[in-house]
Amino acid sequence: MSILFSPLQIRDIVFRNRLWVSPMCQYSAVDGMPQEWHHVHLAQFASGGAGLVMAEATAVLPEGRISPEDTGIYSDAHRDAWAPIAAAIRARGAVPGIQLAHAGRKASTWRPFDPRSGSVPIADGGWPTVAPSAIAYDGFATPRALDADGIDEIVAAFGAAAQRAVAAGFAVLEVHGAHGYLLHQFLSPLSNRRHDEYGGSLENRARLLLRVVDAVRAAAPDAAVLVRLSATDAADDGWDVADTVHVARMAAQHGADMFDISSGGLVAHQRITVGPGYQVGYAARVRREAGVAVSAVGMIDDAAQAEQILAAGNADAIMAGREWLRDPHFALRAAGELGVDIDYWPAQYLRARPRR
């Protein structure tokens, strides 16, 4: 009996298994609009047996894009461009999800496969960035500190984006609160030096995230709302696991259904040692201490390893990123490796199914 290949239900949404596609930016949008690349890229994982296919960090405002080639969902035209992609994922048996994001001080940067690095100058199509405080990420342009109206605009933008995402057909909405982007910048004392009700105490630093969760939940009452959190900044005096547990507990009370536990991204001088399953311990701790559902992510590349994480009670689902890029049919292969019979091999591919 495989836990990895047993269904999971959140609200009325049933996932056929617990091997999920982690959000991965493709840096290939035009004016925030997803392209044919995104359609093929995301649909193939659904054909490959994923339980959830999560579309990449998608900006709720144009200035919230990491790079000028990031996807967005800040207009109804974006909603309409996403709709056939969500439908293609659903038609192949996976649940369509989308990560809603604002990059804050890490916005307006060159995409990773551009030879240039750092901030995109305004003259080259970049834009001024915003953050809790006017403190730059190492090597990037200095952001402007948001005022109260700017914060309200961001909360409203997350709500509007959630509404569009549901209208486009997405059933899972993930609030990107990790990797040093805007919501994480508010959470961490290293990037948030505010003296108003959004800075200082943990409750104050979490206020924006909780307002965003409220806005998303209100706009999408039936959606599964996930929150991705970095469990630690891995830097002196930074955000840590105990803070993550505390905020996960609060966000659950505000209507978040599950927490996707990652790490890092806030400062360039972070110290993280990567290796197989290197973030699982964080997910396990949040699950146990906050009493919430979690997904584990980070170098979980193997069926037996994924199964063991779930069997040990360390997570409720597995997010994988790069392994899906190496093998878009990861779940079909994983089921074979675990000896599990699944009834969603695409009929067109059945002649390739390994014999048992």
Ligand X SMILES: Cc1cc2nc3c(=O)[nH]c(=O)nc-3n(C[C@H](O)[C@H](O)[C@H](O)COP(=O)(O)O)c2cc1C
Residues annotated as catalytic are: 181
Phi and psi angles of residue 177, each rounded to the nearest 5 degrees, phi first:
-110, 20
User: Which of 25, 206, 215, 266 touches ligand X by CB under 6 A?
Assistant: 25
Could you say whether residue 23 binds ligand X (CB under 6 A)? yes
Amino acid (1-letter code) at residue 224: A
Amino acid (1-letter code) at residue 179: H
Could you say whether residue 281 binds ligand X (CB under 6 A)? no
Residues in the chain: 356
User: Quick one: 22 or 345, whose CB is closer to ligand X?
Assistant: 22
Instruction: Name the one range near ligand X by CB under 6 A: 3-11, 103-111, 120-128, 316-324.
Output: 316-324
Give the span between the Cα atoms of 22 and 261, in whole angstroms: 11
Write the CB contacts of 253 (distance below 8 Å, at least 6 apart in sequence).
none
User: Quick one: 24 or 95, whose CB is closer to ligand X?
Assistant: 24
User: Quick one: 56 or 63, whose CB is closer to ligand X?
Assistant: 56
User: Which of 218, 322, 352, 353 touches ligand X by CB under 6 A?
Assistant: 322
Could you say whether residue 310 binds ligand X (CB under 6 A)? no
User: Which of 13, 83, 167, 299 touches ligand X by CB under 6 A?
Assistant: 299
User: Quick one: 24 or 60, whose CB is closer to ligand X?
Assistant: 24
Quickly count: other Cβ atoms within 10 Å of residue 30's Cβ: 11
User: Which of 78, 102, 105, 179 touches ligand X by CB under 6 A?
Assistant: 179
Site track for ligand X across 37-56, x = CB under 6 A: -------------------x
CB of 260 to ligand X, least distance (A): 8
Instruction: Name the one range near ligand X by CB under 6 A: 131-139, 175-183, 189-197, 281-289.
Output: 175-183
User: Which whole-number Å values give the CA distances from 154 to 11, 72, 130, 160, 189, in the listed order?
Assistant: 27, 14, 11, 10, 20
Collapsing DSSP states into helix, strand and coil, what is residue 107?
coil
Give the span between the Cα atoms of 158 and 217, in whole angstroms: 10
User: Quick one: 15 or 20, whose CB is closer to ligand X?
Assistant: 20
Handedness of CA 185, 189, 193, 198 (dihedral sign): positive
- By CB under 6 A, the residues from 215 to 274 that bind ligand X are 228, 262
User: Quick one: 219 or 296, whose CB is closer to ligand X?
Assistant: 296
Could you say whether residue 28 binds ligand X (CB under 6 A)? no
Give the span between the Cα atoms of 243 and 238, in whole angstroms: 10
DSSP assigned state of 280 = H
- By CB under 6 A, the residues from 74 to 113 that bind ligand X are 99
Collapsing DSSP states into helix, strand and coil, what is residue 144?
strand
User: Which of 57, 160, 220, 334 touches ligand X by CB under 6 A?
Assistant: 57
Instruction: Name the one range near ligand X by CB under 6 A: 18-26, 135-143, 194-202, 284-292.
Output: 18-26
- By CB under 6 A, the residues from 136 to 155 that bind ligand X are none
Instruction: Name the one range near ligand X by CB under 6 A: 193-201, 244-252, 317-325, 345-353.
Output: 317-325
Buried b (16+ CB within 10 A) or exposed e, 265-291: bbbeebeeeeeebebbebbbbbbeebe
Give the span between the Cα atoms of 242 and 285, in whole angstroms: 9
Q: H helices of 226-277, where? A: 241-253
Give the span between the Cα atoms of 201 and 48, in whole angstroms: 45
CB of 211 to ligand X, least distance (A): 20
In the complex, the residues that contact ligand X under the rule CB under 6 A are 22-25, 56-57, 99, 176, 178-179, 228, 262, 297-300, 320-323
